[in-house]
Amino acid sequence: MRTTLSPETDASPTTLPEKTTIQLTINGSVHHLELAPWTSLLDALREYLHLTGTKKGCDHGQCGACTVLVDGKRINSCLTLAIMKEGAEITTIEGLAGENGLHPLQTAFIEHDAYQCGYCTPGQICSAVGLMNEGRAKTTDDIRELMSGNICRCGAYPHIVDAIQEVMKIDPKA
């Protein structure tokens, strides 16, 4: 079914900029991209930079698969525009491993078998890095509550919580 579009808000494409050059800093390197203003950060990462680790689940902020870190804070990359993040430091799952190998959370996810299909995993891990940066989770219940923005369709939650708990050194009984 179609919506009727009111003329005053239906902008004429000819008067609009098709693309602008946008500078994004991703995993430490600077990229210059020709993007339309309506490109989400998620689409910029996946379709233009081919950083396909970040996943598109719902595209509406409801699943957390697209979670990335912007200046160290976790956000949903599907609900922000790439052009709004000019000048920010963006970290994706591809940028978490360092010189000494995998990020401790990546290792813990492997050791705890914290995934089945793996689709939600990059978002879960980036979200958990954000959780640790925030420093608010003190108990297992806190981890569950503060990770609720990441849905796992396979239901790997118990192992995900175990992995995070271990890296955060939270007593499982706390």
- State the Cα–Cα distance between residues 91 and 69, nearest whole angstrom: 5
Q: Does 91 bind another protein (CB under 8 A)?
A: no
CA atoms within 13 A on the CB side of 51: 22
62 belongs to the binding site for ligand FES (CB under 6 A): yes
- Choice from 19, 20, 23, 61 touching ligand FAD (CB under 6 A): 61
**Is residue 136 a contact residue for another protein (CB under 8 A)?**
yes
54's enclosing H/E stretch is none
C-alpha span between 13 and 123 (Å, rounded) = 35
Task: Give how far Cα 58 sits from Cα of 1, 49, 55, 150, Å.
Answer: 21, 20, 9, 11
In terms of CB distance, is 77 or 165 closer to ligand FES? 77
CB under 8 A: which stretch of 9-17, 26-34, 114-122, 157-165 binds another protein?
9-17
The entry of ligand FAD, ligand FES, another protein, none near residue 156 (CB within 5 to 8 angstroms by kind) is ligand FES
Q: Answer yes or no: are the C-beta atoms of 69 and 130 closer than 8 Å.
A: yes
Q: Is 136 exposed, middle or buried (0-12, 13-18, 19+ CB in 10 A)?
A: exposed
Q: Which residues bind another protein (CB under 8 A)?
A: 1-6, 8-11, 13, 15-17, 20, 36-38, 40, 59-61, 64, 67, 73-76, 79-81, 83-84, 127, 130-131, 134, 136, 144-150
Q: Which residues bind ligand FES (CB under 6 A)?
A: 56-59, 61-66, 76, 78, 115-121, 152-154, 156
